[in-house]
Chain A
Amino acid sequence: MATTTYSTENAAGNLTARALREGFYAGLVAFGLFFLFVGLETTQNIRNELVLNQRWGLLAIFVAVAAVGRFLGVLYLQPWIASRKAARAAVVDKAAPEGFFVRNFSKIAIVALVLMPPVVVSLVGVQGSLKWVDNFGIQILIYVMLAWGLNIVVGLAGLLDLGYVAFYAVGAYSYALLSQHFGFSFWVLLPLAGILAAFWGMILGFPVLRLKGDYLAIVTLAFGEIIRLVLINWTEVTRGTFGISSIPKASVFGIWSFDVGAANNFAKVFGLPMSSAYYKIFLFYVILALALLTAYVTIRLRRMPIGRAWEALREDEIACRSLGINTVTTKLTAFATGAMFGGFAGSFFAVRQGFVSPESFVFLESAIILAIVVLGGMGSLVGIAVAATVMVGGTELLREMTFLKAIFGPDFTPELYRMLIFGLAMVIVMVWKPRGFVGSREPTAFLHERKAVSGSFTKEGHG
């Protein structure tokens, strides 16, 4: 007994000594590194002379942070990580069954989304719900839908498309232009916008899909930019950078309208106080339905021969050809189906904003949508939805963090750092889970039992 206490005490003493030593070395290295970088500063004074400023205080802070950080890391962080690793290794052997929440995640999520607007309205009132339903709910769901649409192209068929936003733009402008010129309603133009985007996908796809891998990515990127430049420069039709404004609102299948002056205004009919929140709640359900349609069609298509051919194409194109699969039409259908959902989302975007301009369809949008697909795990609907929520919801949350102003001063605007955090998050997720949040793949058919295919077997596609 005495010996054990002695040995643990001894070990603890050793650890402290080691931490002190390593902390000292870290301080020394930091001093060496930052002595010239931080400790000394050359500036020009008013007479254009070089002046050497000495910043010993700042240097001391740098050195102290390195030394103390290393000291604490060795003394507390490393043992804690090691013990966690050991604990996890012990747990893995038992292969704990998935909990109720994990098994029914998608059902719970759908129910929560359907219930969200009424709950929010009852909690923060009609006017207060605007922020949560519009900024968070609708915004996230648009990206979920776009990412699910792109998932068909990138995740299933393995075709790297960097210009997906082009189809989003085609959908948005089809709704904006056709509703203004011909007065068609949203419910007529929604499918039409999808068809036009799919048609556009075929036109683009035909020459582009002969290319593979990096070349395909570059050409799709170029086509995305071409569409944006056409929208900017074809001023007679698109009104260029001014964009198209006062796009008509959608109505509840023509029964109730949301126009303020209309006789069948939703709020008037139900005797509610006038508010734009009802329209947003209605739009929330529309985009929820559209996103769920995308998910449903994707799930169904995966079990159809065409979906299986898409995944086979991602795995090995030459083998596909040797099995009698026409790879050109298979790729085209994937491109067109993905584009169609992009078109749906685009026309929804137009009706929600009431205003479209080429500003909304820059390359950054394509990159964000692609990042969501990659982060979520290519081909996985749940993973992509989670990634979209984290990415888009996270950047919206940054806007809310006004308390950061108290720390960093009144000039600090947290949303300016969103791209930095976005990049950081991507690096962290790629290190931690290189296959995205959900890396495994559900098989589409089985004989004995359905076993998830580990991400290490699936390929990312090459063309």
Chain B
Amino acid sequence: MSALETNAMNQDPILKVEHLSMRFGGLMAINDLSFEARRGDITALIGPNGAGKTTVFNCVTGFYKPTMGMISMTQQSGKKFLLERMPDFEITRDAKVARTFQNIRMFSGLTVLENLLVAQHNMLMRASGYTILGLLGFAGYRRAKEQSIEIAKHWLEKANLLERADDPAGDLPYGAQRRLEIARAMCTGPEFLCLDEPAAGLNPRESLALNELLRSIRNETGTSILLIEHDMSVVMEISDHVIVLEYGQKISDGTPDEVKNDPRVIAAYLGVEDEEVEEVIEEIQEIQESDGEQGGKH
């Protein structure tokens, strides 16, 4: 089944952000932002520096409480969560939204394997009867432990880190730490994975490997992905849907090709000279009209 067909079947949005606003003192970091991420899609969130991308992420994953707006997440089972009302750890535990960080946050003193076991904390806690049964040596916990190591092994293989499983995570090179952070997020068993600049600081070969990893995550586990990225080779290559932010507002939303040719996006990234502003605005309006016509034809 091709990706397109899958998309056609699952048009229902997994994440729905409506009228999201986030104010820091006098600064409106996000201003009335609405977008949707469809199930099974890789959705990219791009924009110039300071556009509010990471703030959106932090609102979605509960690290910030938005000033206004609603963020709803619908699981495969149809269960619905209002993320803006949940504390951050419950968003991961119950709503099954996992995330990574722009500047990698590893447990550098724990080994690579331990990092992945920490990610399965909630499952293991339940299996160990909240530590008590596990301390007494019940078999259920031992089975869960073996299973958790199997899951960790699976993701280590995927991230190509199996050889380094017993090394401290802080000892890994940068690119491997990025992969490990994604593997660790996947060990929480998410339905929706948020990646904050996963390709930052990677060389072209590592970027390619990352694309491969993200695609296989989407295709094999059906996890939907939302990513922030500056590396256009990653964004254009793997994303199904791109949202462009500037100054906390959405300026474009569509497939990678549509976004690439959108003059608003080009203007946002490259800037416009003062004399040309009028011209560009007209051009944009024309395009919007023609977009509307095309939309009608479809």
- Interface window among B14-22, B87-95, B211-219: B87-95
Chain A residue at smallest Cβ distance from B190: A324
Does A325 touch B at the CB level, under 8 Å? yes
Looking at the assembled complex, report how far the CB atom of B254 sits from the nearest CB atom of chain A, in whole angstroms. 30
> Is there contact, CB below 8 Å, between B113 and A447?
yes
Does B118 touch A at the CB level, under 8 Å? yes
Looking at the assembled complex, report how far the CB atom of B150 sits from the nearest CB atom of chain A, in whole angstroms. 11
> Is there contact, CB below 8 Å, between B117 and A308?
yes
Does B165 touch A at the CB level, under 8 Å? yes
> Is there contact, CB below 8 Å, between B105 and A322?
yes
Does B223 touch A at the CB level, under 8 Å? no
Looking at the assembled complex, report how far the CB atom of A439 sits from the nearest CB atom of chain B, in whole angstroms. 11
- Interface window among B123-131, B230-238, B289-297: B123-131
Residues 302-319 (chain A) with a chain B CB within 8 angstroms = 304-306, 308-309, 311-312, 314-316, 318-319
Task: Please count how many residues in chain B sit with their CB below 8 Å of the partner chain's CB atoms.
Answer: 47
Known: A316-B105, A447-B165. A309 touches B110 (CB 8 A): no
Looking at the assembled complex, report how far the CB atom of B173 sits from the nearest CB atom of chain A, in whole angstroms. 14
Known: A301-B135, A304-B135, A324-B188. A445 touches B106 (CB 8 A): no
**Bound: A324/B162 CA distance, A:** 24
Does A459 touch B at the CB level, under 8 Å? yes
Known: A322-B88, A326-B89, A457-B109. A301 touches B168 (CB 8 A): no
Chain A residue at smallest Cβ distance from B118: A312
> Is there contact, CB below 8 Å, between B98 and A445?
no
- Interface window among A90-98, A187-195, A239-247, A448-456: A448-456
> Is there contact, CB below 8 Å, between A311 and B109?
yes
Known: A305-B131, A318-B105. A448 touches B61 (CB 8 A): no
Which B residues lie within 8 Å of A443 (CB)?
A: 110-111, 113-114, 166
Does A444 touch B at the CB level, under 8 Å? yes
Q: Is the interface of B mostly helix, strand, loop or mixed?
A: helix
Chain B residue at smallest Cβ distance from A459: B109
Additional pairs, 17, CB under 8 Å, beyond known A304-B128, A325-B118, A453-B109? A304-B131, A308-B114, A308-B117, A309-B118, A315-B110, A316-B107, A318-B105, A321-B92, A322-B99, A323-B188, A325-B121, A444-B117, A446-B113, A447-B149, A447-B156, A447-B165, A451-B111
* 28 interchain pairs, CB-CB under 8 A: A301-B135, A305-B124, A308-B117, A308-B121, A309-B121, A311-B114, A312-B110, A314-B109, A315-B108, A316-B106, A319-B107, A320-B118, A322-B63, A322-B92, A322-B99, A323-B188, A324-B90, A324-B188, A325-B122, A444-B117, A446-B113, A447-B149, A447-B153, A447-B162, A448-B165, A450-B166, A453-B111, A457-B169
**Bound: A316/B119 CA distance, A:** 13
> Is there contact, CB below 8 Å, between B166 and A449?
yes
> Is there contact, CB below 8 Å, between B107 and A311?
yes
**Other-chain residue from A301, A312, A333, A446 in contact with B107 (beta carbon distance below 8 A):** A312
- B161-205 CB contact bits vs A (8 Å, 1 = yes)? 010011111110000000000001100100000000000000000
**Bound: A314/B91 CA distance, A:** 22
Which B residues lie within 8 Å of A301 (CB)?
A: 131, 135
Chain B residue at smallest Cβ distance from A455: B109
**Other-chain residue from A327, A333, A445, A458 in contact with B89 (beta carbon distance below 8 A):** A327
